Amino acid sequence: MRASKSPLLSISLDRDGGDSLQAQIFDQVRSAILNSRLSPGTRLPATRTLAVELGVSRNTILGAFERLYAEGYIEGRSGSGTQVSGVLPEELLSARQLAGARAKASSRAGKLSALSRQMTGMNYRSRHSTPGTRAFRPGLPDLEQFPFQLWSRTLAKFWRHPPHDLLCSGDLGGYLPLRRSIAAYLGAVRGLRCRAEQVMITSGAQQALDIIARTLIDPGDDVWVENPGYVGLRSTLTAAGARVNAVGIDDDGLSVEAGRRLAPAAVLAAVTPSHQYPLGVTMSLARRLELLDWAAGARAWILEDDYDSEFRYGGKPLSALQGLDQSGRVIYVGTFSKVLFPALRLGYIVIPEALLEPFTEMRASIDDHPALALQPALHAFFEDGHFASHIRRLRSLYAARQEVLIEALRCEADGLLNTSPHEAGMHLVARLGPGYPAPDHVAAGCAAAAGLITPALSGFYHGQDKAEGLVLGYAGLSADEIRRDVKRLVTALRKPAF
């Protein structure tokens, strides 16, 4: 069956109203064009099709279309049917200009004052990079290495004859076979202790953070976050009404002592203990135990974001914080975006037993159940060994790329940027040399002008005391691209733009 390229027109007819059906159709199609719901060149449905859809005679549709044609809103082309005019009448253009002027005037008059207080401090721009740009975007995996042919076959195989019950509804926690695979994987690789029923599949890690914040935080509650730390987490907590307390990082990770001083009554501490973002510090065992003791004593919660724990290249591996927890205070969050590809939009929460019911109720109130189209394929990836093979391949590849980045900076930057190896992760922090004549956000702007994404380290800090540098992701670039783009970066930084 040949698919129609015509849009579905939303037309509601009042058969008992004063206006004729023909006039109502004319007015509503004209309004759709006027409000840009139908853009120039859009093909309209055939008059016979529209007559059947609306339950009116074809002559009624023809009369409305003839008036639209006469006034210049639509045009007919041989072999192409009826389309919205490419050149619109002056009346329409002037109406659009008037609407734009009114919108600007409303903005100037303070119409946005109705936004909630929680919107204060939202920082969307700092978390989103230029579409299509790869160098040196932090957290971007190597998309060329993903086995898309294998993935597409796995996806097609399942959905060729899917179970009927899967098409109608879903478990609030997600596809149970996948949850079993995740629980087994986390137990074997990260030392977690959990049942499949404690795993909740989410639409990426950001939704996981949102569910946690909505469930546990009341407006005015104190929370601890790492300083520097992930801006997206601070924004989510702020949106939930939390009073965010930025707790400093030292060589052992988040300072529990500093957190106690800042906010002794905090209800939650959010940490990245395996590989602190963005500094790369691994939280020591002593500090982990201290944080767990604080949570147990204060009856507070710990949010453990294990965002890139799969990529550890050396040193003694430490189990996840959740695996050390004896009091059930740790909520573990993971994502597949940095392991497979970002558009997958699959993450997960490992929920303490005591929180299973409230988390499930919160999930039901904001999201009926997670999208299931990709979950069976990911389960098959786990069970057939493809997931583990992919991780092993990337781990070796990323370790080599980190070495290439360090060597390229040593050869090309000549003291302009200084960095050192890390035992884990997908990015490095490069400190600006002492002679660099501007702050790191200016350096990041120079790089952006050259088409490079190098977030300023100072942008991850909360407060006045900030370290400076550039965050350089290397996982998504080949060795040759890293060498080439380091040269581009150095050239951009050395331009006399100050």
Rounded to the nearest 5 degrees, what angle is found at the Cα of 12, between the Cα atoms of 8 and 16? 155
Burial pattern 179-199, b for ≥16 Cβ within 10 A else e, equals bbbbbebbeeebebbbebbbb
Distance CA 372, CA 377 (A): 10
Sheet holding 268-271, edge to edge: 199-202, 347-350, 330-335, 301-305, 268-271, 222-227, 243-250, 253-254
Number of Cα atoms under 13 Å in the Cβ half of residue 204: 10
Residue 109: per-residue pLDDT: 46
Residue 124: per-residue pLDDT: 47
Torsional sign, CA 243, 244, 248, 251: positive
In angstroms, what CA-CA distances link 343 with 143, 276, 372, 488? Answer: 11, 24, 14, 28
Q: Name the pTM for this structure.
A: 0.78
- 264's tokens: 């002794």
Distance CA 41, CA 88 (A): 11
Provide the 10 A C-beta neighbour count for residue 39.
11
Spatial contact of 456 and 440, defined as CB atoms under 8 Å apart = yes
**End-to-end C-alpha distance for the chain, whole angstroms:** 62
Closest of 255, 327, 249 to residue 286, by C-alpha: 255
Q: If you ran DSSP here, which 8-state letter would residue 42 be given?
A: P
Spatial contact of 273 and 229, defined as CB atoms under 8 Å apart = no
Distance CA 464, CA 237 (A): 20
Residue 386: per-residue pLDDT: 93
In the chain, where the domains are located: 1-114, 129-138+389-493, 164-385
Characterise 349 by phi-psi region: left (phi > 0), alpha (psi -120 to 50), beta (else). beta
Distance CA 402, CA 389 (A): 20
Strand 81-84 and strand 268-271: pairing?
unpaired
Residue 112: per-residue pLDDT: 47
- 386's tokens: 């493809």
Say if domain 129-138+389-493 classifies as CATH 1.20.1250.20.
no
Residue 426: per-residue pLDDT: 93
Provide the 10 A C-beta neighbour count for residue 354.
10
Mean pLDDT, 10 residues at a time, the chain of 498 residues: 63 82 89 83 88 90 86 71 74 53 51 54 50 81 92 91 79 93 93 96 92 96 96 91 96 97 97 94 94 97 90 76 95 93 92 96 86 91 92 94 96 91 92 90 92 94 89 95 96 75
Cis peptide before 278 (omega within 30 of 0): yes
Residue 32: per-residue pLDDT: 85
Sequential DSSP letters for 266-308: -SEEEE--SS-TTT-PPPPHHHHHHHHHHHHHHT-EEEEE-TT
Residue 125: per-residue pLDDT: 47
Classified by CATH at the fold level, domain 164-385 comes out as Aspartate Aminotransferase; domain 2 (3.40.640)
Instruction: Report H helices in 35-89.
Output: 47-54, 58-70
Q: If you ran DSSP here, which 8-state letter would residue 196 be given?
A: G
Q: Provide the CATH number for the domain formed by 1-114 in this structure.
A: 1.10.10.10
E strand or H helix that includes residue 431: strand 427-432
Torsional sign, CA 169, 172, 173, 176: negative
